[in-house]
């Protein structure tokens, strides 16, 4: 069971777009309208759909929250329950996490994603996701080469090689197509030698020790995915390493059931990415793709989805079926910024709040691999945030700083 009684009382306030000058305010007033317009540019929708998307964009930020008008949608009743307390409020008044998830859900309503017809199950972000592979083909080849080096270099301790894999996986989270569309020149990046210097907290030793010292290693690990494209490739490479080294016997990937946050991975994105790797002319890339497809067919790599991952609910509202499922796992890996925000409730935590305080409600082990692209952060050393404020304006949201944070109850 989720241990809500272990949450602080009262909880910190949720982030809201009404905080003028905040990243939440910038997202609702600038970023989300731009994403809506980009969807129109990248898709040849019929005029009625274009008009619906344009009306949605025009609602931001002062339009009022309303219920979904999406009669065929399987999540309509749940969403209307989530929205009930906020009806009549504007986009800036409601919690930021709700505003973002609501916007992406409203985009699907506008494009007719769940409605019978030409746009049924049509991913409005498909072009961006495809570019997220094609534009990074060279980086994918390099990533597979480095994976193979870590698999072959058995003279090095497994703990050392696992640390490199976790670090590579973390920095894959810089490739976020909602922040930096494919091909955009200003995407943050680090040379390999600078990656560890840009960790705000690093619990690699703790999680490595936990995995390596389990009897017969971990039977199962669960990975909550974030972005498709190069980041998903890095997620799959981490899976390949864990399975090839027998650190883990089974890995369950948790994907979104429908398009959201532009590049968030769905089951179809996983299968398409595996097919892309397996079709590569590069022998190392091809080998990884075929190996993972075999693991998938054998049931050693599993793909799940759940409407919880596209809801506005915090981590302490995990549904019972997911809680039961995660109890069979040795480790829950939370990938990316949005998942980090979800487990922390997207609230104004003090930056030096211990993980035990913010995540004490969880009954299972949790590993956060996250590049910071929002103002939510915990488990920093006292004074670290003030030091960074003086050193680099925007450090919380510019995608240049990351965390590897491990919590075990």
Do the beta carbons of residue 224 and residue 339 sit within 8 Å? yes
- 312 Cβ neighbours under 8 A, 6+ residues apart: 82, 95, 97, 98, 101, 102
- Pair of tokens at residue 352: 């030096």
- At residue 175 the predicted structure's pLDDT band, cuts being 50, 70 and 90, is confident
- Pair of tokens at residue 252: 């369950």
* DSSP 8-state secondary structure symbol assigned to residue 369: E
CATH C-level class of 128-407: alpha beta
- How far apart are alpha carbons 249 and 174 in whole angstroms? 28
Q: At what angle do helices 47-59 and 32-42 cross, to 10 degrees?
A: 170
- How far apart are alpha carbons 286 and 132 in whole angstroms? 18
* More confident of the two residues 252 and 181: 252
Q: Where in the chain is the domain with CATH 3.40.50.10880?
A: 128-407
- In the CATH scheme, what architecture does the domain 4-124 have? Up-down Bundle (1.20)
What is the predicted pLDDT for the residue at 191?
63
- Pair of tokens at residue 127: 């072009």
Do the beta carbons of residue 75 and residue 313 sit within 8 Å? no
DSSP labels for 130-160?
A: HHHHHTTHHHHHHHHHHHHHHHH-TTS-HHH
Say how many C-beta atoms besides its own lie within 10 A of residue 72's C-beta: 11
- How far apart are alpha carbons 62 and 302 in whole angstroms? 42
Alpha helices in 20-124 (DSSP H): 23-26, 32-42, 47-59, 76-83, 96-111
What is the predicted pLDDT for the residue at 256?
98
Which of 339, 345, 340 is closest to 316 using CA atoms?
A: 345
Q: What percent of the chain has pLDDT over 70?
A: 94
Question: Mean per-residue pLDDT for 244-268?
Answer: 96
3-state secondary structure of 255: strand
Q: pLDDT averaged over the chain? A: 94
Tens of pLDDT, residue by residue over 317-363, are: 999 999 999 999 999 999 999 999 999 999 999 999 999 999 999 99
What is the predicted pLDDT for the residue at 378?
98
* More confident of the two residues 154 and 193: 154
- How far apart are alpha carbons 154 and 296 in whole angstroms? 25
Q: Where in the chain is the domain with CATH 1.20.930?
A: 4-124
What is the predicted pLDDT for the residue at 120?
97
Does 307 score more than 70 pLDDT? Answer: yes
What order do you get walking across the sheet with 218-224 strand by strand?
A: 199-202, 402-407, 366-371, 331-335, 218-224, 248-255, 301-305
- How far apart are alpha carbons 232 and 264 in whole angstroms? 9
- CA 33 to chain CA mean position, Å: 21
- At residue 195 the predicted structure's pLDDT band, cuts being 50, 70 and 90, is confident
Does 402 score more than 80 pLDDT? Answer: yes
* DSSP 8-state secondary structure symbol assigned to residue 64: B
Alpha helices in 328-373 (DSSP H): 337-343, 355-358
- How far apart are alpha carbons 311 and 97 in whole angstroms? 9
- How far apart are alpha carbons 178 and 34 in whole angstroms? 10
Tens of pLDDT, residue by residue over 198-243, are: 999 999 999 999 988 865 456 999 999 999 999 999 999 999 999 9
Q: What percent of the chain has pLDDT over 90?
A: 89
Kindly report whether the global pTM for this prediction surpasses the value 0.85.
yes
Does 41 score more than 50 pLDDT? Answer: yes
Question: Mean per-residue pLDDT for 243-262?
Answer: 96
What is the predicted pLDDT for the residue at 213?
81
Which of 80, 50, 58 is closest to 68 using CA atoms?
A: 80
- How far apart are alpha carbons 140 and 133 in whole angstroms? 8
Least confident range from 19-28, 126-135, 376-385: namely 126-135
Does 244 score more than 70 pLDDT? Answer: yes
Does 20 score more than 80 pLDDT? Answer: yes
What is the predicted pLDDT for the residue at 214?
67
């Amino acid at each position: 069971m989720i241990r809500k009684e272990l949450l602080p009382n009262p909880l910190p306030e949720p982030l809201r777009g009404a905080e003028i000058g905040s990243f939440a305010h910038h997202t609702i007033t600038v970023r989300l309208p731009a994403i809506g317009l980009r969807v129109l540019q990248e898709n040849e929708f019929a005029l009625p759909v274009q008009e619906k998307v344009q009306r949605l964009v025009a609602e931001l930020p002062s339009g009022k929250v309303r219920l979904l008008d999406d009669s065929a949608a399987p999540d309509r009743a749940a969403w209307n329950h989530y929205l009930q307390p906020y009806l009549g409020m504007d986009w800036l008044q409601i919690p930021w996490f709700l505003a973002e998830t609501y916007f992406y859900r409203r985009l699907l309503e506008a494009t007719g994603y769940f409605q019978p017809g030409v746009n049924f199950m049509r991913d409005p972000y498909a072009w961006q996701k495809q570019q997220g592979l094609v534009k990074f083909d060279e980086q994918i080849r390099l990533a597979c080469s480095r994976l193979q080096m870590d698999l072959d270099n058995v003279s090095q301790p497994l703990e050392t090689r696992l640390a490199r894999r976790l670090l590579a996986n973390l920095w894959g989270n810089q490739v976020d197509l909602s922040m930096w569309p494919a091909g955009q020149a200003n995407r943050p990046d680090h040379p390999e030698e600078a990656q560890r210097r840009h960790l705000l907290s690093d619990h690699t030793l703790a999680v490595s020790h936990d995995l390596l010292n389990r009897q017969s290693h971990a039977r199962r690990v669960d990975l909550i995915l974030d972005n498709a494209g190069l980041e998903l490739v890095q997620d799959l490479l981490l899976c390949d390493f864990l399975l090839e080294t027998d650190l883990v016997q089974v890995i369950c990937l948790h994907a979104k059931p429908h398009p959201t946050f532009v590049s968030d991975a769905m089951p179809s994105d996983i299968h398409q990415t595996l097919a892309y790797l397996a079709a590569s002319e590069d022998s190392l890339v091809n080998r990884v793709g075929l190996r993972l497809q075999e693991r998938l067919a054998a049931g050693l790599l599993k793909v799940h989805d759940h409407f919880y991952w596209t809801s506005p609910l915090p981590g302490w509202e995990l549904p019972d079926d997911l809680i039961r499922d995660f109890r069979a796992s040795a480790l829950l890996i939370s990938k990316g910024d949005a998942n980090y925000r979800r487990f922390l409730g997207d609230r104004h935590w003090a930056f030096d709040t211990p993980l035990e305080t913010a995540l004490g409600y969880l009954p299972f082990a949790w590993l956060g691999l996250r590049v910071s692209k929002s103002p939510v952060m915990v488990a920093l050393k006292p004074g670290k945030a003030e030091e960074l404020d003086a050193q680099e304006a925007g450090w919380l949201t510019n995608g240049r700083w990351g965390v590897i944070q491990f919590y075990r109850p």
